[in-house]
A and B are shown apart, each in its own frame.
Chain A
Amino acid sequence: MICTKMIRRIAICFLIVVALTALLPMRYEHQFRDSPNAGPSRQFLLGTDDLGRDRLSRLIYGTRVSLLLATSAAILSCLAAAALGGLAGSGIADKLILGAADLFLSLPWLFLLLMVRAFLPLNVSPLISVTITFLMLGLLGWATPAKVVRAAVRKLNASDFMLQARATGSSRLLSKHLIPNVMPILWAQLWITIPAYVLAETTLGMLGLGVMEPLPSWGNLLRELEGGGIANHPWLFAPVLLLAAVIGSFQVIFEREDYSV
Chain B
Amino acid sequence: MLKQLTRIGVLVFAAGLVSAFLVSYAPGTMVDERELDRRLNETSIRELRSNKASHSDVFGNLRRFMVGLTKGDLGYSESNHSPIAALIADRAPETLREIAVGLAGGWVLGLALAIPKRGFSVLAGLLLSLPTALIAYLCLLAGAKSFLVLVIVLTPRIFRFARNLLNQAYTAPNVEMARARGVTETKILLSHVLPAISPQLLALGAASASMAIGAIIPIEAICDVPGLGRLAWNAAMARDLPLLVNLTMLVAVATTVATAVAEMANPE
Q: Do A and B come from one complex?
A: yes
Residue in contact with B217 in the complex, picked from A105, A114, A117, CB distance below 8 Å: A114
A115-B259 contact, Cβ under 8 Å, with A207-B221, A248-B125, A257-B160: no
Contacting pair A107 B255 (CB below 8 A): yes
Is the CB of B133 closer than 8 A to any CB of chain A?
yes
Give residues 11-35 of B contacting A (CB, 8 Å): 11-12, 14-15, 18-19, 22-23, 26-29, 31, 33
- Mark B122-144 against chain A: 1 for CB-CB distance below 8 A, else 0: 00011011111110010001000
Which of A15-23, A118-126, A141-149, A167-175 contacts its partner? A118-126
Chain B: interface residue total (CB-CB under 8 A): 52
Residue in contact with A119 in the complex, picked from B11, B125, B239, CB distance below 8 Å: B239
Contacting pair A119 B233 (CB below 8 A): no
Q: How far is the CA of A122 from the CA of B34 in the complex (A)?
A: 12
Q: How far is the CA of A251 from the CA of B126 in the complex (A)?
A: 9
Residues of the B chain whose Cβ atoms lie less than 8 Å from the Cβ of A199: 130-131
Contacting pair B160 A107 (CB below 8 A): no
Contacting pair B161 A257 (CB below 8 A): yes
Q: How many whole Å from B30's CB to the nearest CB in chain A?
A: 10
Q: How far is the CA of A121 from the CA of B239 in the complex (A)?
A: 11
Main secondary structure of the interface of B (DSSP, over half): helix
A207-B137 contact, Cβ under 8 Å, with A102-B11, A257-B164: no
Residues of the B chain whose Cβ atoms lie less than 8 Å from the Cβ of A110: 214-215, 217-218
Residues of the B chain whose Cβ atoms lie less than 8 Å from the Cβ of A118: 236-237, 239, 244
Is the CB of A187 closer than 8 A to any CB of chain B?
no
Is the CB of B56 closer than 8 A to any CB of chain A?
no
Chain A residues engaging chain B, CB cutoff 8 angstroms:
99, 102-103, 105-111, 114-122, 195, 199-200, 202-203, 206-209, 222, 225-226, 230, 240, 243-248, 251-252, 255-261
| Beyond A103-B18, A107-B15, 15 extra complex contacts between A and B, CB < 8 Å | A106-B259, A108-B213, A111-B232, A111-B251, A114-B217, A118-B237, A119-B29, A206-B134, A208-B237, A243-B129, A243-B131, A248-B129, A257-B157, A257-B164, A260-B214
